[in-house]
Structure 1
């Protein structure tokens, strides 16, 4: 499944702060429909996301009927975003295709 959407960046404080892009309700509903076929456990769903031309692999986390797209610090710094910023996201839901060994 391929999705494109606008998302707001939030910070979830814990023992260490984490930054996430909040998946909008419509896209979250689409993901929920296929979650059982793409999850690898605990409701976590692998994705390949692209923001401002930076492509990265991560896993969505379910939260309150929606999903959060984690932003690794290296990605967040390269695209220059912080809490409250709005980003355009392109995302492929499911495991990333493997690159050939040759």
Structure 2
């Protein structure tokens, strides 16, 4: 299983964790289950490469939840940000920005 790590901004904020914590417990559990499946090498049909080393996990629940991540080597999944279909364009832009920030530090 790959290690799951939450991206942290220079100011110490964790956008993906903050987003998850704002959701209800049932949604949190479902999203964590999808993320865990991806970390174990499963749920491939729900993972889409977006370019610039960013991937999207599409979660078949609620308003079309998505989680964006980058892969650090072969062992770490860096969780960047989460959102839903309505915020998808903004979330992808932020995920790419967060990934560039991560790589620069």
The TM tier, using the shorter chain, reads 0.3 to 0.5
Q: Relative contact order, CA 8 A, sep 6+: which one is greater?
A: 1
How does the TM-score come out when normalised to structure 2? Answer: 0.32
How does the TM-score come out when normalised to structure 1? Answer: 0.33
Greater percentage in helix = 2
Larger Rg over CA atoms: 1
